[in-house]
Amino acid sequence: MHVPDGFLDAPTSLATGTVAVVGVGLALRGARRELDERTAPLAGLVAAFVFATQMVNFPVGAGTSGHLLGGALAAALVGPWTGVLVMSVVLLVQALLFADGGLTALGTNITLMGLVGVGVGWAVIVLVRALLPRRTSSVVPAAALGAAISVPVAAAAFTALFAVGGVADVPLGAVLTAMIGWHTLIGLGEAVITALVISSVVATRPDLVYAARPLLADRSLEIRTPEAVA
């Protein structure tokens, strides 16, 4: 999923770079509200977590396996702004320390996986959460749908960039169909894994799931007296 150098032409890469700089700048302002001054250590640890999570291979069968992209997962766990920051730092470190994704394509990668992946994921989560009953468990289907939709949307965004700044004269309709078809499948896998991870965290530490916090405030302490139990 990491776009390498030379996949898009220089003007498009510079344009996505500008979009990424503006997006990350906004995220820096927004993240202060989500995490206060603990941002640096916490976001750093969450970035290390996202990076480690991408190393877990999920077997698909027939000897193939895939790994999580983590955009919607990060949005659900730490909120959209911190999520964008975390994904951007992960991509930056991957580009500079692991040569994974080109440096000139960093803006493209941050735009697609950071801004679009986290942003669309979060928008869907908020929408679904509003439609479902106000229970912490509602976050699980919300995050799943967020993951399922954000992955093909990011793929469609990539196709749009390829239409503008791609280096080949390929039939765009076919590329769009192939990209969206393939990434809908990937998105389904991402949705299942995201749902499983979120449900395991919600079961033990619902207070750590950012998307569940507004629902958590609704819960009140229930005191059961012996008469009420009997």
Partner 1 sequence: MGAGHGHALHVHGHSPVHRAPAHLKILGLLGFMLLVVATPGHWHSAFGLWLALLLTVVVVARVPFRWLLPRLVVEVPFVVFAVLMPFIAHGPRVDVLGVAVSESGLLAAWTLLAKGTLGVIAGLTLAATTSPPELVRGLERLRLPSALVQIAAFMIRYLEVVADDLRRQNIALASRGFVARDPRHWPVLAKSIGALFIRSYERGERVHLAMLARGYEAVGERPTPSRATPDGFVGKAERRRRAGGPSRHDNAADEPVWGRAAGERPVDHSPGRMPS
Contact track, partner 1, 143-162, x by CB under 8 A:
--------------------
Restricted to residues 166-185, the positions that interact with partner 1 (CB under 8 A) are 167-171, 174-175
Is the sign of the CA dihedral 98, 92, 76, 188 positive or negative?
negative
Of 59, 133, 173, 226, the one binding partner 1 by CB under 8 A? 59
Question: Judged by CB, which is closer to partner 1: 148, or 201?
Answer: 201
Question: Judged by CB, which is closer to partner 1: 174, or 221?
Answer: 174
Name the one range near partner 1 by CB under 8 A: 102-110, 128-136, 139-147, 215-223.
Answer: 102-110
Task: Examine residue 97 and tell whether it contacts partner 1 (CB under 8 A).
Answer: yes
Contact track, partner 1, 73-92, x by CB under 8 A:
----x-------xx-xxx-x
Name the one range near partner 1 by CB under 8 A: 4-12, 132-140, 153-161, 215-223.
Answer: 4-12
Task: Examine residue 93 and tell whether it contacts partner 1 (CB under 8 A).
Answer: yes
* Under 8 Å between Cβ of 75 and 122: yes
Give how many residues touch partner 1 by CB under 8 A: 79
The length of the chain in residues reads 230
Question: Judged by CB, which is closer to partner 1: 61, or 226?
Answer: 61
Question: Judged by CB, which is closer to partner 1: 59, or 133?
Answer: 59
SS3 annotation, the chain? CCCCCCCECHHHHHHHHHHHHHHHHHHHHHHHHHHHHHHHHHHHHHHHHHHHHCCCCEEEECCEEECCCCHHHHHHHHCHHHHHHHHHHHHHHHHHHCCCCCCCCHHHHHHHHHHHHHHHHHHHHHHHHHHCCCCHHHHHHHHHHHHHHHHHHHHHHHHHHHHHHECCCCCHHHHHHHHHHHHHHHHHHHHHHHHHHHHHHHHHCHHHCHHHHHHHCCCCCCCCCHHHHC
Contact track, partner 1, 19-58, x by CB under 8 A:
-----xx--x--xx---xxxxxxxxxxxxxx-xxxxxxxx
Restricted to residues 105-144, the positions that interact with partner 1 (CB under 8 A) are 105
